[in-house]
Copies of this chain bind each other. A is one copy, B any other.
Amino acid sequence: MARPSVKAERTEEILEAFERCVARLGIEGTTLERIAEESGLRRSLLRYHVGNRDKMVQALADRYIKNSREEARRFLAAMPSSNTSLALLDYFFTDTSDEERRRVLVAQALVSGVDLYPAIKEQMTQWHRNFVLVLCQVIRVDYPDASDADRNEVAWGIVSLLFNVQLLAALSSNEEFLSDGRRAADRLLKSLASDASEKSSATEVLLEEPF
């Protein structure tokens, strides 16, 4: 018996704007006023819908984690049933969109921010672990004989390359770095063929839901 709530939409708009700012300016470089401008709302509305600065950061992290889950699903869905290595490289190191870059930069900002916002530390730790795990699953299709530990190392390395590609994109158009990153990632993947320890050749599915 009152006005319909737009809290969900507004919250989304606000955090979306927050993310855009953070990717460009970092967490501490982003003022509430800046977010207000970016979202086209008044600063007081940020407070009304989301809360104070701490709440905002917490909400940003929460939303980021949530979106990462969906992104992970999309990613897994985009993987073919074989030759996933190539698909993986294409996905992360070819024609990366601005959104993809933003995703990575925000993750870095959040990780860097755990000292200032200890509340998000646990989440980001989980997030990274899960990211690596998703890559492991994908890698497993092409390299079923490699050990979990080996795949994990490689996945960890690919995440690093991915991070660096987007970080360095600030220095030059990232096309140059993309190819370096891609080739290095390819090397890591290929290295799994060499060790190829004896293992269950279970090429089953990779559809076990992550996270």
Contact = CB atoms under 8 A, between A and B. Distances in A.
A184 B163 contact: no
Interface stretch (A4-12, A64-72, A186-194): A186-194
A168 B111 contact: yes
For chain A, what secondary structure do more than half of its interface residues adopt (helix, strand, loop), or is it mixed? helix
Interface string A166-178: 0110111000010
A167 B108 contact: yes
Give the bracket for the number of chain A residues in contact with chain B.
35 or more
A111 B114 CA distance: 19
Contact of A157 (B28, B152, B159, B161): B161
Contacts of A191: 187-188, 190-191
Given A159-B164, A164-B160, A187 B154 contact: yes
Interface of A: 24-29, 105, 108-109, 111-116, 121, 124-125, 128, 152-154, 156-157, 159-161, 163-165, 167-168, 170-172, 177, 180-181, 183-185, 187-188, 190-191, 194
